[in-house]
Copies of this chain bind each other. A is one copy, B any other.
Amino acid sequence: MNIPASQNPRVVIIGGGFAGISMVKQLANKPVQVVLIDKHNYHTFQPLLYQVSSSGLEPDSIAYPLRKIIKKQKNTFFRLAEVSNINHKARVVQTSIGEIAYDYLVVATGTKTNFFGNKAIESNSMPMKTVPQALNIRSLILQNFEKAAITNDKEAREALLNFVIVGGGPTGVELAGAIAELKNNILPRDYHDLNTSDMQIHLLEGSARVLPPMSKQASEKSEKFLKALGVKVHCNTFVKDYDGLKVTTNTDLKLESETVIWAAGVTGNPVSGLQEGTVVERANRYLVNQYNQVQGYDTIFALGDIALMKTDAYPKGHPQVAQPAIQQGKLLGKNILKLIEGKPMKKFKYHDKGSMATIGRNKAVVDLKTYKFGGFFAWFVWMFVHLMSLVGFRNRVIVFFNWTYNYINFDKAARLIIRPFHKSK
């Protein structure tokens, strides 16, 4: 694999998400050799993918080259590859570019979209977990606008302008709000050959309220915000089928839509090869102890979304969001050095910094441990936290400028169909 031999033990990290890069940074120029493997050559700031889908941000501003992250780490190597299997007996991972040996292995492969086994939904709806997927949604929305402008058939036009977002978690709520802003601000101004009233945004949530992991106040406020933007919120509603045009649900609600965006759930994205029982069914997460060691292994670890660490405070594991991933990555970076030195490792303890979601211009909800709030100040906090979490000064400046520009101009300016999306129908 052309990685120079080293006196130091080799730590192989699969996945350059929040967990992976947090650990990689911790191991900068420490007495280990680090190999970071990812199938993309960049880190994706997933919390802002929805703004790429809705033309608010260019894709390049939420992606960051992984090699730029490690450029000052002489002990760290990046490999662009897909990992297919772990051979834990031989201590190698099998990848699209050959085998890579490890002394310590860290799996930080995150999650993938969960279609709950429905093949029709999987092939007809749009997932939004990667930059290319977000760009596909951006293209499809804009293509639909163009098609609607030349369609005389009222039903066909409405199906083109009906946007159905499945899943009322943060991703679904934020995307619904952003698409509503396209309707309210962009359509009347730039599409004077379209009728704004023909466009509808439907948000479907299976449980009794949107943002189910957040507080009841947050759910109520965000539902109010969504309705003010014109989003039709359907709680206790889940999609039973979608053939590319007709959406059927568990209720009387039937919709015709060319665009169903699937934000209804994720499932772990484990790598095959470990002994049975290490991956917990349904969740598809590796069972780990409080040092993030995968059950049954001393030198294999799992981090972030893919790790299921059952504790008294979190009997079902930590929430699959950025903070646990970042905190675990940082701690494991320290722990692995202790392990190598034969010193005792430190147990992981999650510091919940709170959660938040934005619904649109001046509209957000924030849940802190002691204080819950919504509205303009929450929106400001949301922006600040997300801006500061972006990797790299350049990306921060470009996102900040875009937000300022969009705010002043009520605009979303990245409305480009660079690669048209072709529906498989």
Contacts and interface: CB of A to CB of B under 8 A. Distances in A.
Nearest to A152: B2
Given A2-B152, A142-B41, A413-B68, A418 B189 contact: no
Interface stretch (A57-65, A264-272, A282-290): A57-65
Nearest to A191: B67
A44 B284 CA distance: 45
A285 B58 CA distance: 36
A79 interface: yes
B131 A63 contact: no
Contact of A150 (B2, B192, B419): B2
Contact of A405 (B71, B98, B394): B394
Contacts of A132: 418-419
Contacts of A419: 132, 419
Given A2-B152, A150-B1, A65 B413 contact: yes
B192 A74 contact: yes
Contact of A417 (B41, B392, B393, B416): B41
Quickly give the copy total for this chain: 2
A80 B41 contact: no
B131 A68 contact: no
A41 B415 contact: yes
A113 B259 CA distance: 36
A155 interface: no
Looking at A77, A394, A418, A419, which has the most chain B CB atoms within 10 Å of its CB? A418
Interface string A187-208: 0011111000000000000000
Interface in A138-162: 142-143, 146, 149-152
Contact of A190 (B71, B143, B414): B71
Contact of A413 (B40, B77, B394): B394
A135 B419 CA distance: 10
Contacts of A3: 193
A115 interface: no
Interface in A29-47: 40-42
Contact of A414 (B2, B60, B77, B397): B60
A297 interface: no
Contacts of A116: none
Interface in A52-106: 58-61, 63, 65, 67-68, 71, 74, 77, 79-80, 97-98
A401 interface: yes
Contacts of A68: 190, 413, 415
A398 interface: yes
Given A2-B152, A61-B58, A401-B401, A416 B190 contact: no
B146 A418 contact: no
A132 B151 CA distance: 28
Interface string A404-424: 010000000111111100000
A80 B152 CA distance: 16
16 contacts: A1-B150, A2-B152, A2-B193, A40-B417, A58-B60, A60-B416, A71-B189, A77-B193, A79-B149, A98-B150, A392-B413, A393-B405, A394-B402, A398-B398, A398-B402, A419-B419
3 closest A-B pairs by CB: A58-B60, A80-B146, A67-B190
Interface of A: 1-4, 40-42, 58-61, 63, 65, 67-68, 71, 74, 77, 79-80, 97-98, 131-132, 135, 142-143, 146, 149-152, 189-193, 392-394, 397-398, 401-402, 405, 413-419
Given A41-B146, A135-B418, 19 more contacts: A1-B150, A2-B151, A2-B152, A4-B193, A40-B417, A41-B415, A41-B416, A58-B61, A59-B60, A65-B415, A67-B190, A74-B192, A77-B193, A80-B143, A131-B416, A131-B418, A132-B419, A394-B402, A401-B401
